[in-house]
Amino acid sequence: MIKKIFFPLIRLWQETVKVYQIITNARWLILGALTGILSGIIAIVFFAGVEGLKFLLVHKLAGFSLPAPAGEEIFHGHAGVFRPWLIPVFTTLVGLVTGYLVTRFVPDCIKAGTDGTDSMIRAFHKQGGIIRPLVALIRGGTSILTIGAGGSAGREGPISLLGAGLGSFLADKLKLSPKERRILLLTGAAGGLGAIFRAPLGGALTAVEVIYREDFEAEAILPSVISSVVAYTIFTLVFGTEPIFGIPRFSFENPLELPFYGLLALACALAGWFYVRSFYFIKYKLFWPIMEKWGVIWSMGLGGLMMGVLGVIFPELLCGGYGWLELAILGKLSLVTMLGIIVGKTLATSITLGSGMSGGMFAPALFVGGMSGGVVGYAANQYFPDIVTQPGGYVLVGMAAFFAGVANAPIGPLIMVCELTQGYGLLAPLMLASALCLVLNRNISLYENQVDNKFESPAHIDDATINILENLQVNDFYQPGRVTTLEEGTSLKALTDIIANTNELYFPIRNYKDEITGILAVQDLRKVLFEDSLYDLLVAKDMARKAVLLAPEDNLYTALLKFVDSDLGQIPVVDYNNPEKILGLLAREDVFKALRRKSRP
């Protein structure tokens, strides 16, 4: 009975391992799903931590009643006694604590970039995809403190860093190559973004395109999409599938509106220029001199104090601000209020993150972009009500267009807004406004570590060689023919006879099910080959290395990575549909000969 239950499970596991080892795309599906599961769990903990701390500190203790979007109001209760003076106390303490933790444990991340997303970009290009777990944990944890205490920062930067850190950690444990580690880095970031935004496709595309100004990481799309979908599914099991905003459906029906969306793009481009320039000015002209003279702790403490005072004067600047965005979409904010929020949020975010505190620039950017679009939409509605009939839609278009301009990421935010609105009714104006913002803001970038394209990235410095090998298949270069195989129980004595009668140096090992379970290298037998006392004690299974296999459909770059990882001189080539059938061998020299032949002018 037990055998009937467990045998199919064992067989399924064995087949999964085979598929993982042989089929590249299947391997990325498995890795993407695993990363998505863990990213979804991290997103749940992070989101609950931010919202719970914000409810306790800002709502209950300080007495502020901030609006929450319909899809994120997970804590309910009356506001406590109004004590506005507590906000500067909270933010200052968080700044000091963050400064201490960063200085004490992860000082190298102080100059890592704009926010968590920028740190992820830096790791991709300059650190071989490596993010130390402690960096992700400290920056993620202090981000919860920053946002929960009222700091003007977003959840998306920290969750990108946490997801990317998870991907880097998994790649290290699975002993993946640097290239695979970078892909898994983006896969983890995509899972975090897809979950926290409840926008699986938009999150995946944003992760793979935000690392470049003019390019995207195509190889990471498959695992990133899988990771994002899985993480989103797990996240919504806890928090539901409702989108962040509880808003009506918007649609674009009147072509006469296009000039107004063009005007929106201009407004977002100007606001984007102000947003980025203000951030860099406050960071490098105000806080960096303080940091160099007085230290990181006091710089962050001062940033926390200034943010807290601003938040008391202008509560709309506290925390992420999605609730205010929902009110803007629904037409419940005045033009003067939206204009004030644009300037105030820019300054508050620049102070919070420019001082070195933890958090993300993504959500504040959407916030400022949405308000910029709202100013244009509601102003146009007042003067041209017959043409601009849905001014709330301009807030949504402004969000995507603004971020496309400042982050050079046109596709991901566009799709994300469509997912947030649960429809593609605004697709045409979204595309127009995003394209115009990209052109108008082509000389600025929110992320300091972005590079123009793959050719500018240190991560792709060897792509000339890689591209050649990726375009060549094992099928055209391996040596077909009969290959001597050994049984797992073949004794050392029998091995000496086999080796003496063949010129082969590498022997695949089979088990009783005819499955290839290892590879025996003659070089590994040198120390025991003439030990008569071991002839009947040692068997092939004891001396074999882990099985490494190739399929005819694999490319030579995949083969090269397997040669490097295994240190074998030859690898068996097996039938794609029947992995037990060995077709021949591919030698390491065959790869180098192919590269030399194809590299000649």
Q: What is the pLDDT of residues 283-318, one digit of tens each?
A: 999 999 998 889 899 999 999 999 999 999 999 999
Q: Average pLDDT of 563-573?
A: 86
472-599 is classed CATH 1.10.10.10: no
Task: Specify whether the CB–CB gap between 179 and 143 falls below 8 A.
Answer: no
Q: Which two tokens stand for residue 372?
A: 């910029």
What interhelical angle do 427-440 and 411-421 show, nearest 10? 150
Identify the pLDDT of residue 143.
93
pLDDT tens track for 416-440? 878 876 667 788 898 899 999 989 9
Position 462 pLDDT exceeds 60: no
Q: How confident is the model at residue 4 (pLDDT cuts 50, 70, 90)?
A: low
The answer to which of 435-449, 526-540, 559-573 has the lowest mean pLDDT is 526-540
Determine the Cα angle at 77 with ends 72 and 82, to 5°: 110
| pLDDT, mean over the chain | 85
**Cα gap 163→147, rounded to integer Å:** 18
Determine the Cα angle at 311 with ends 308 and 312, to 5°: 90
Q: Which two tokens stand for residue 373?
A: 């679009």
Identify the pLDDT of residue 545.
85
Torsion over CA: 112, 116, 119, 123 (sign): positive
Identify the pLDDT of residue 599.
57
Q: How confident is the model at residue 24 (pLDDT cuts 50, 70, 90)?
A: low
Three-state DSSP class for residue 330: coil
Identify the pLDDT of residue 270.
94
User: Please, which residues have CB within 8 angstroms of residue 184's CB and are 6 or more apart in sequence?
Assistant: 31, 35, 129, 167, 168, 170, 171, 176, 223
Identify the pLDDT of residue 100.
94
Distances (CA, A) of 247 to 27, 173, 338, 365: 40, 44, 18, 20
Identify the pLDDT of residue 535.
67
Please name which of 308, 380, 254 lies closest in space to residue 58, comparing C-alpha atoms.
Answer: 308
Q: Average pLDDT of 212-231?
A: 89
Identify the pLDDT of residue 17.
55
Dihedral angle computed from the Cα positions of residues 377, 383, 387 and 388, in that order, rounded to the nearest 10 degrees: 20
Identify the pLDDT of residue 444.
85
Q: What is the CATH T-level fold of the domain 6-460, as seen in this structure? A: Clc chloride channel (1.10.3080)
Sheet holding 582-587, edge to edge: 479-480, 582-587, 570-574
Is pLDDT larger for residue 394 or for residue 218?
394
Q: Where do the structural domains in the chain lie, given as residue ranges?
A: 6-460, 472-599
Helix ranges (H only) for 491-568 are 492-500, 540-543, 556-566
pLDDT tens track for 321-349? 888 888 999 989 999 999 999 999 999 99
Position 233 pLDDT exceeds 90: yes
**Cα gap 84→63, rounded to integer Å:** 7
pLDDT tens track for 81-99? 999 999 999 999 999 999 9
Identify the pLDDT of residue 538.
75
pLDDT tens track for 514-542? 888 888 888 777 666 666 666 667 777 87
Task: Specify whether the CB–CB gap between 234 and 36 falls below 8 A.
Answer: yes
Position 564 pLDDT exceeds 90: no
User: Please, which residues have CB within 8 angstroms of residue 104's CB and are 6 or more apart in sequence?
Assistant: none
Q: Give the number of C-alpha atoms closer than 13 A to the C-alpha of residue 487, restricted to the C-beta side.
A: 6
Is pLDDT larger for residue 54 or for residue 578?
54
| Residue pointed to by tokens 């606001």 | 271
Q: Average pLDDT of 536-551?
A: 81
Q: Give the number of C-alpha atoms closer than 13 A to the C-alpha of residue 188, restricted to the C-beta side.
A: 33
Q: Are strands 516-521 and 545-546 parallel, antiparallel or unpaired?
A: antiparallel
Identify the pLDDT of residue 530.
64
* Rg of the chain over all Cα atoms, to the nearest angstrom: 28
**Cα gap 265→372, rounded to integer Å:** 9
**Cα gap 283→287, rounded to integer Å:** 5
pLDDT tens track for 406-421? 888 888 888 887 887 6
Identify the pLDDT of residue 311.
93
Please state, for a pLDDT cut of 90, what percent of the chain lies above it. 38
Q: Are strands 506-510 and 486-487 parallel, antiparallel or unpaired?
A: parallel
Position 595 pLDDT exceeds 80: no
Instruction: Find which of 269-273, 484-488, 497-501, 566-570 is predicted with most confidence, using mean pLDDT.
Output: 269-273
Identify the pLDDT of residue 18.
53
Q: How confident is the model at residue 156 (pLDDT cuts 50, 70, 90)?
A: confident
Please state, for a pLDDT cut of 70, what percent of the chain lies above it. 91
Identify the pLDDT of residue 505.
82
Position 14 pLDDT exceeds 90: no
Identify the pLDDT of residue 463.
54
Q: How confident is the model at residue 461 (pLDDT cuts 50, 70, 90)?
A: low
pLDDT tens track for 36-59? 999 999 999 999 999 999 999 999
Q: Give the number of C-alpha atoms closer than 13 A to the C-alpha of residue 233, restricted to the C-beta side.
A: 12
Distant-in-sequence contacts of 310-313, Cβ < 8 A, 24+ apart: 310/152, 310/344, 310/347, 310/348, 310/351, 311/87, 311/88, 311/91, 311/150, 311/152, 311/348, 312/84, 312/85, 312/87, 312/88
Q: Average pLDDT of 226-233?
A: 94
